[in-house]
A and B are shown apart, each in its own frame.
Chain A
Amino acid sequence: MNDENLLERSLAGDADAFRALYDRFADEVYGYARRILGDGEAAEDVSQEVFLTIVRRGASFDRSRTFRPWLLTLVRNKAIDFLRARAKRPETKLEGEVLEALASVRPAGDATDAVEAALARLPFAYRETLWLCDAMGLTYEEAGAILGCDTGTIGSRISRGRKALRDYFSRNGHEVR
């Protein structure tokens, strides 16, 4: 059954469909939230909120779109809401450097492995774009829809992000197998 059908059945009250939907996307939702928030506990809270929002407001999902980018957009919005609340600066427009600074607030000891450390050094926009496209396998069009930019920008971020990531691994000689 495809994602959109699972959503339809979940909204109709089918617990099995909702369970299947959760099992299909839980890792992606949690992983993306954690990537933005840098905090496993916060990522759990945001993930739960995302799935509850699906149940509450899934009816607003545009059937002409595919479910996955819509879901990941929801994750991003919820995570940014969380960052906003954490910063206690609700009037702050979370763009550019501000968003990057907030997202870089990582609990001590979180970036323990090589990948985490490498990602933590990347600018937020690169880190997020790399995560969506290279780790999660989204197309540039899908990532662009989530991040609100065109595919050229996505490609540019990917290229620079990959280079930065590779340079970091080369300099530090990490064994990442």
Chain B
Amino acid sequence: MRCDDVRKSVTEGAPLDEEVRGHLDACPACAEEFEALRALAASRPTAPPALRERVLASFPARRRASWSFLRQAAALLIVGLGLGFAFGYTVKDSRERVIIREVPTVVTAPPTEDYITNVSIAGQRVYGKFVEVTYDGQLHVQKMVVDPEVKNYEQYCPVARQLESLSQKLPERVVYRKKY
């Protein structure tokens, strides 16, 4: 490709194809004239490494279960936990484990087994152990077993904030209140 062809092509707005780019790379005269284009192509920013970690970390959790179920389950869990903490449930220390007392909630319609299962799964996923969920007219998040290191409310806060962000769209049919 000749310099005249490149100049005509570039100034007329033709695509900057491989042939033109190759010429700009090889021809100092044209390169100087179209320095701005070369600079433009070279100025593409690189995604920060921290972004990669953030994005990739979010992938597996989202693929393990239905998002809608997970969101509902997480919402239910945080409301239950919030009630528990708000009304002063105690967290007892142990060398082996810590048990949070029953956190009762009420729903206006019986939840399905899948729904209950997903509440349990959400607890397992968040806390690494298990949450036992039963329904006897009320939905009970009965026992949460967590690591001893995670026994203080302050240490729950980051998790609570995460769950709060998931609970913004609570299903309307579910109403929560303290049992007593």
Nearest chain B CB to A59's CB is how many angstroms away?
12
Residues B16 and A134 in contact, CB atoms below 8 Å apart: yes
- Residues 131-173 of A, flagged 1 when their CB comes within 8 A of B and 0 if not, give 1011111011000000000000001111110110110110000
A-B contact count (CB 8 A): 121
Nearest chain B CB to A117's CB is how many angstroms away?
11
Q: Which residues of B contact A136 (CB under 8 A)?
A: 44
Residues B51 and A176 in contact, CB atoms below 8 Å apart: no
- Residues 106-147 of A, flagged 1 when their CB comes within 8 A of B and 0 if not, give 000000011110110000000000110111110110000000
Q: Which residues of B contact A15 (CB under 8 A)?
A: 56, 59-60, 63
Nearest chain A CB to B14's CB is how many angstroms away?
7
A84 at the interface (CB under 8 A from B): no
- Distance in angstroms between the alpha carbons of A56 and B67 in the assembled complex: 8
* A162 in contact with B13 given A18-B59, A130-B40, A134-B37 (CB within 8 Å): yes
* A31 in contact with B45 given A15-B59, A55-B62, A114-B39 (CB within 8 Å): yes
B11 at the interface (CB under 8 A from A): yes
Q: Which residues of B contact A27 (CB under 8 A)?
A: 44-47
B12 at the interface (CB under 8 A from A): yes
Q: Which residues of B contact A19 (CB under 8 A)?
A: 56, 59
Total chain B interface residues with beta-carbon distance under 8 A: 36
- Distance in angstroms between the alpha carbons of A34 and B47 in the assembled complex: 10
Residues A51 and B55 in contact, CB atoms below 8 Å apart: yes
A66 at the interface (CB under 8 A from B): no
- Distance in angstroms between the alpha carbons of A176 and B32 in the assembled complex: 10
A79 at the interface (CB under 8 A from B): no
- Distance in angstroms between the alpha carbons of A47 and B54 in the assembled complex: 10
Q: Which residues of B contact A160 (CB under 8 A)?
A: 13
Residues B43 and A156 in contact, CB atoms below 8 Å apart: no
A98 at the interface (CB under 8 A from B): no
Q: Which residues of B contact A165 (CB under 8 A)?
A: 36-37, 40
User: What residues of chain A have their CB less than 8 Å away from a CB belonging to chain B?
Assistant: 10, 13, 15, 18-19, 22-23, 26-31, 34, 40, 44, 47-48, 51-52, 55-56, 113-116, 118-119, 130-131, 133-137, 139-140, 155-160, 162-163, 165-166, 168-169, 176-177
* Given A15-B60, A115-B39, A134-B37, 6 extra CB contacts under 8 A: A10-B59, A23-B52, A44-B47, A44-B48, A48-B58, A134-B41
